[in-house]
Chain A
Amino acid sequence: MSFIPRASKKLKNRMVLTDTNLLLFITIAVFLAMYCCAILFLGRGFTKPQAFFNILNENASLIILSCGMSVVMISGGIDISVGQVTALVCMACAVNLDFQNGTVFTSMLIALGIGLAFGAVQGFLVAYLEIQPFIVTLAGLFFAKGMTTIINASQFNVENEQFKALKSTEVNVPLMGSYNKLGEYIPAYVEIGVLVAVFIVIALFCALKWTKLGRNFYAVGGNNQSANMLGINVKLTKFMSHLICGLCAGIGGYVYFLHVGSGSPSHAAGAEMNAIASSIIGGTMLTGGVGNIAGTFFGVLSLSTIKNIVASLGLDEAWWTNITVAAMLCIFLLVQSVILARKNKNKK
């Protein structure tokens, strides 16, 4: 009697290994292979730890946005407004700091407020009024885009001293520095945004793995009818997924702001597409129910490594980056679709 549940548990573990973890494994392997290729063919620039940290510095906000996107995608939705919300956060914070005598603290509050407001409204419309997430967040994208221009139509750099000090703060990473040609030791550094991003990755990873809400996201994304029958509050779960994504958009927006130090309507254009692409490359299934925050993290790294490779190959025209990103997205989508087809065959 007692061995039956154990056997089924074992089977369940193996099943988990086949979908979520297989995709995660592919992502990490691809990232490592790509990084090795970069080191082999493009020489020494990539061997320095600082090259890796620079990728992190440039993509801290994308990592945060992608994590939020993954949560929404795991629970079966999508949020395409994050890029423009980032731009809106940048502009609102910049105006607050420069024209309204704001402090760093008030600008942070504004960023979080904008993110939460977008998340809450979109989540309410998607979860409780049952409108398609794509349409709702499309409207959100439009709204954020328009609001950014209404607040201020032109680009300007922030001159607030307090903010500038925070922006130029660099955190040294011990034991990772390198010696330059003169033999001087140059410490490796990361920006504050990277620490925030890493914190969010770890927090969301743990939340999805071990909390009730996190498990509910997977259940709702996998099959919301059976989740409903299990007694999960499907609507609340969907709402929470959008709220978390909105919060991530707010934080990611502030990190982006911290990185560029200016407000402009053209900031973070197309970031939502990069975030979706990173999540997909990181093994999040669009159909919901499958995904991993660690995968998303590696997805962002893969995406930016390939961008760096393209840039350093001398193909610096912007179109090559877009075409390679699209090709990569295409390949990963095909891999996902093949895996899904195989799984369905196994079921039969």
Chain B
Amino acid sequence: MTKNVKFKESMKAVKAFLIRMVQNQLFIPLAALLFLVLFNIVVDPSFFRISLEPSSEGYPVLSGYLITIIDNASELAILAIGMTLVTAASGGQDISVGSTIAIAGSVVLRVLCGTDSRPETLKAPIIVAFLVCVIVSALFGAFNGVLVAYFKIQPMVATLILFTAGRSIAAWINNNELPVINDPSFGYYGNFIPGIPLPTPVFIAAACMALIALVLKVTNLRLYAQSVGINPSSSRLNGINPQTIKLISFIILGICVAVAGFIKVSRLSTINYSVVAKDIEMDVILAVALGGNALSGGKFNMTASIIGAYVIQFLTTTLFKFKVNSAAISAYKAVVVIILVVLSAPYVRKKLVEFRKKIVSHKVKVRKEVA
């Protein structure tokens, strides 16, 4: 008898744990990740093979689909950090990140190449180019931020301006030339540093995550961004200036864009204005949405967003592996997004909870009748 009671109690605990887990914000991205992993295990276990192979320059590097995923997701994860803050504080998304990446990359090349589009040596130290690119991107972020914070334009539309003009500005910065850098040391940031088997962007992304974790831990940014996103006027009454917070969030996104743009340019040592980081804004917004963050602002979970970014890249790589045409991938992504969004919609959740309650009450009724 006691055994039975104990069993029942433990079952209750397990049930409570499960419910808490399902309600956790990390559940959706992790479940999606788990689903993708299982799918790949069932279809083709070789997906997870990682091997040490000599790279084109002779030293051994890790290669495999998993490495590709964490490598290519670096930019996405870095952008997701900034986008989460912008989403939380302003209640909208920045759709100009792809275009601003083109600008950032163009600035890097302009500083490194000077007026020559095929330089033999670098015209400036790489760190200078990086800093200039950070400043320029932060300024463009501030432009968006001012439009959103001070002129009260919806973020999606305010950033539409740079979305339209960004790639053209990027082309204009370099007189529509496509500079190519021959110096191999510039490629270290987007590919491999000799002797280290992991791609460098992974480390850069990890550094960015550590930095933002530190910022959120030490400063009040999380609290302020959330309170501004939930109710700007009441946070103003509490002594927080919503306009400054929104502006800061856009500037942080600008810096994230600069880092991502730098990696993108370093990967190829050149740039193609109309193709670089194309549609990345959609992927980033998806990552934030997948992380279960309310796209209308307010509370956010940075970890969930970053995991979301990796899930999106996992999905992309899986689709690529099955030889899906790169343009057709978007259709599959759209279906996934619709399913996720529908499942996480407040209305559907409410209905599901009601449905569960109905089942439970029905069971109780049946039991009573039996008794």
With A134-B295, A150-B331, A322-B167 known as contacts, the answer to whether A286 contacts B337 (CB < 8 A) is: no
- How many whole Å from B189's CB to the nearest CB in chain A? 27
1/0 per residue, CB under 8 A from A, across B276-297: the answer is: 0000001001000100000110
State whether A132 touches B165 (Cβ < 8 A).
no
Contacts of B332 in A (CB 8 A): 146
State whether B157 touches A142 (Cβ < 8 A).
no
How long is the Cα–Cα vector from A260 to B355 in the complex, in angstroms?
51
Task: State which residues 135-179 of B face A: CB under 8 Å.
Answer: 147, 151-154, 156-158, 160-165, 167-169, 171-172, 176
State whether A333 touches B161 (Cβ < 8 A).
yes
State whether B93 touches A277 (Cβ < 8 A).
no
- How many whole Å from A142's CB to the nearest CB in chain B? 4
Tell yes or no: B341 within 8 A of A by CB.
yes
The B interface, classified by DSSP as helix, strand, loop or mixed, is: helix
State whether B333 touches A277 (Cβ < 8 A).
no
Task: State which residues 308-337 of A face B: CB under 8 Å.
Answer: 317-323, 325-327, 329-330, 333-334, 336-337
Task: State which residues 265-308 of A face B: CB under 8 Å.
Answer: 265, 270, 273, 276-277, 280, 286-287
- How many whole Å from A140's CB to the nearest CB in chain B? 7
Task: State which residues 89-117 of B face A: CB under 8 Å.
Answer: 93
State whether B327 touches A265 (Cβ < 8 A).
yes
State whether B176 touches A149 (Cβ < 8 A).
no
Of chain A, the residue at the smallest CB distance from B346 is A130
Tell yes or no: A1 within 8 A of B by CB.
no
- How many whole Å from A242's CB to the nearest CB in chain B? 15
Contacts of A333 in B (CB 8 A): 147, 151, 153, 157-158, 161
Tell yes or no: A135 within 8 A of B by CB.
yes
State whether A131 touches B342 (Cβ < 8 A).
yes
How long is the Cα–Cα vector from A256 to B77 in the complex, in angstroms?
38
Tell yes or no: B366 within 8 A of A by CB.
no
State whether A153 touches B331 (Cβ < 8 A).
no
Tell yes or no: B127 within 8 A of A by CB.
no
Task: State which residues 145-171 of A face B: CB under 8 Å.
Answer: 145-150, 153
With A135-B341, A322-B165, A326-B162 known as contacts, the answer to whether A341 contacts B330 (CB < 8 A) is: no
With A129-B342, A135-B285, A322-B168 known as contacts, the answer to whether A153 contacts B152 (CB < 8 A) is: no
State whether B169 touches A337 (Cβ < 8 A).
no
Tell yes or no: A188 within 8 A of B by CB.
no
Contacts of A142 in B (CB 8 A): 282, 330-331, 333-334, 337
Tell yes or no: B328 within 8 A of A by CB.
yes
The A interface, classified by DSSP as helix, strand, loop or mixed, is: helix
Contacts of A125 in B (CB 8 A): 338, 341-342
How long is the Cα–Cα vector from A80 to B276 in the complex, in angstroms?
21
- How many whole Å from B330's CB to the nearest CB in chain A? 4
Q: B164 contacts which of A132, A147, A153, A322 (Cβ < 8 Å)?
A: A322
State whether A143 touches B331 (Cβ < 8 A).
yes
How long is the Cα–Cα vector from A137 to B153 in the complex, in angstroms?
20
- How many whole Å from A298's CB to the nearest CB in chain B? 19
How long is the Cα–Cα vector from A323 to B162 in the complex, in angstroms?
9
Task: State which residues 318-343 of B face A: CB under 8 Å.
Answer: 325, 327-335, 337-338, 341-342
Tell yes or no: A139 within 8 A of B by CB.
yes
State whether B153 touches A286 (Cβ < 8 A).
yes
With A145-B327, A319-B172 known as contacts, the answer to whether A138 contacts B282 (CB < 8 A) is: yes
Tell yes or no: A340 within 8 A of B by CB.
yes
- How many whole Å from A3's CB to the nearest CB in chain B? 38
State whether A323 touches B165 (Cβ < 8 A).
yes
How long is the Cα–Cα vector from A287 to B345 in the complex, in angstroms?
22
State whether A153 touches B345 (Cβ < 8 A).
no
State whether B285 touches A326 (Cβ < 8 A).
no
State whether A135 touches B331 (Cβ < 8 A).
no
How long is the Cα–Cα vector from A111 to B334 in the complex, in angstroms?
21
Contacts of A23 in B (CB 8 A): none
Task: State which residues 79-127 of A face B: CB under 8 Å.
Answer: 125
A-B contact pairs, 5 of them (CB 8 A): A125-B342, A134-B93, A146-B331, A319-B176, A322-B167
Closest 6 pairs (CB-CB, A-B): A146-B331, A319-B168, A326-B165, A143-B334, A142-B334, A149-B327
